Chains A and B, each alone.
Chain A
Amino acid sequence: RKEVEQDPGPFNVPEGATVAFNCTYSNSASQSFFWYRQDCRKEPKLLMSVYSSGNEDGRFTAQLNRASQYISLLIRDSKLSDSATYLCVVNPGGGYQKVTFGTGTKLQVIP
C-alpha cells in the first residue's frame, strides 16, 4: 500500500455542485495533514491545514478520520476557478524526510 493515495480523477462537475475528495494514508501515527491546490504548470499553494476537529474556510471543508486513516476535502458551490489539482500532504512526524505528497486529484468544473 502506498503511503498516501489519492484518486487521480479527473472529477468533472458542473458549476454549483458539491464535490469531495479523499486521501488515504498508511501511517497511523501521522500527525499533520494539509491540502494544497496546484494549477496547471504552477506551484502548489497551501489551501488549508486539516485539524482533528475539522477545518472550514468558506466553501472548503477539510476533515480527518483517524479511525479509517483518511482526510477529505469538500468543496461546496463549485466555481470555474476551482479547477485545479488538489494534493494532500501527510506528515507522520520524525523529520521532513517522511513528509509525503499525494499525486493529486484533478478537478474540472464545467460551465
Chain B
Amino acid sequence: DVKVTQSSRYLVKRTGEKVFLECVQDMDHENMFWYRQDPGLGLRLIYFSYDVKMKEKGDIPEGYSVSREKKERFSLILESASTNQTSMYLCASSLGPRNGYTFGSGTRLTVV
C-alpha cells in the first residue's frame, strides 16, 4: 500500500521555537506538497517541490521554509513558530496534475 508518512500526529511548541515537520513518501513521486488546513478556509498550499532541491512558493509561504534533499523526503520548517501557525499540516505527493494527491495523516500543531 502506497504511503505518505508524517513524523508526528500531534505537536505542541512554544512561540519562537524552530519547528521541523518531516514527510516521507514511498511512491517515487517527484511532486511533494505542504498544505495547512484551517476551519472555513480549506486547504492552502504553503510550498511544493517538483524535484530534489527544487521548491516553489504556494499561497501562504510567509513564516515557512522547506527542504528537499532526497526525492522521498520533504520537510517543512517553521523558522520561529507563532500562535497563528497553529493548524493541521498535511503533506502530499503526486505523480502529476491529472493524478490527484496522496496525503499523509497530518500533523496537528499547536503553538502556545
Contact = CB atoms under 8 A, between A and B. Distances in A.
Nearest to B38: A103
B32 to A, nearest CB: 10
Contacts of B105: 42-43
Contacts of B97: 31-32, 91, 93, 96, 99
Nearest to B40: A103
Contact of B31 (A44, A96, A103): A96
Contacts of B102: 46
The contact size tier of chain B is 20 to 34
Nearest to B45: A97
B90 interface: yes
Contacts of A93: 97
A109 B72 CA distance: 38
B100 to A, nearest CB: 4
B64 interface: no
B29 to A, nearest CB: 12
Nearest to B48: A96
A46 B45 contact: no
Contacts of A66: none
A101 interface: yes
A38 to B, nearest CB: 9
Given A49-B100, A102-B42, A103-B41, A43 B106 contact: yes
Nearest to B57: A97
B58 interface: yes
Interface of B: 31, 33, 40-43, 45, 48, 50, 56-59, 90, 97-98, 100-106, 108
Given A36-B100, A91-B98, A99-B97, 5 more contacts: A32-B98, A87-B42, A96-B31, A97-B57, A102-B42
